[in-house]
């Protein structure tokens, strides 16, 4: 890799560290190509990205960004997983780590907050942006359906009472 390519990579990584909702750092020593492909596919499905970069270049790129605290985790064979959604990358790596013991989650960053192993796990248990939106929409829609039900209920009650009276009159 020549100097121009390294500078370009540092710039790309800097953008990632600056704009990602969450960045997770994990050690991936011993993963096969198939297992790494599986991790990448899972990440792609959750709108997250997996990136392997030289630690020295990642350390240069993270300087001056909100994720600067992850410097301590950039040692050995590390992989970065990141996403705009503040929990997507953490969920992907946590789920993958449950299925594959060769990956070790070291920590990460969420905005300006540095996360340790337990912090990444806690973030992974939070609802995703899509789940929160669905919950909010459900809360907004519930009162409207309750009002419609309350308005329609008296009419149906009156109809059933009239039907019962009519049946009694016919029986008599």
1-25 confidence digits (pLDDT tens): 788 888 998 899 888 888 888 899 9
Residue 78 to residue 123: CA distance in whole angstroms? 20
pLDDT confidence of residue 113? 87
pLDDT in tens, 51-64: 998 989 999 999 88
The answer on pLDDT for 160 being more than 80 is no
pLDDT classification of 143: cutoffs 50, 70, 90: low
CB 16 within 8 A of CB 82: yes
pTM above 0.75, yes or no: no
């Amino acid at each position: 890799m020549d100097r121009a390519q390294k500078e370009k990579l540092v710039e790309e990584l800097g953008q990632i560290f600056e704009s990602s909702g969450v960045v997770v750092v994990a050690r991936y020593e011993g993963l096969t190509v198939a297992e790494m492909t599986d991790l990448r596919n899972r990440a792609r499905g959750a709108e997250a990205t997996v990136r392997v970069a030289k630690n020295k270049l990642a350390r240069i790129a993270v300087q001056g960004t909100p994720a600067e605290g992850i410097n301590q985790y950039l040692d050995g064979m590390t992989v970065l997983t990141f996403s705009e959604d503040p929990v997507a990358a953490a969920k992907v790596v946590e789920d993958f780590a449950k299925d594959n013991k060769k990956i070790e989650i070291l920590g990460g960053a969420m905005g300006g907050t540095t996360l340790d192993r337990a912090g990444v796990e806690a973030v992974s248990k939070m609802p995703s942006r899509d789940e929160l939106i669905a919950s909010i929409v459900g809360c907004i829609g519930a009162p409207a359906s309750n009002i419609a039900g309350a308005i329609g209920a008296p009419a149906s009650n009156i109809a059933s009472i009239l039907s019962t009276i009519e049946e009694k009159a016919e029986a008599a």
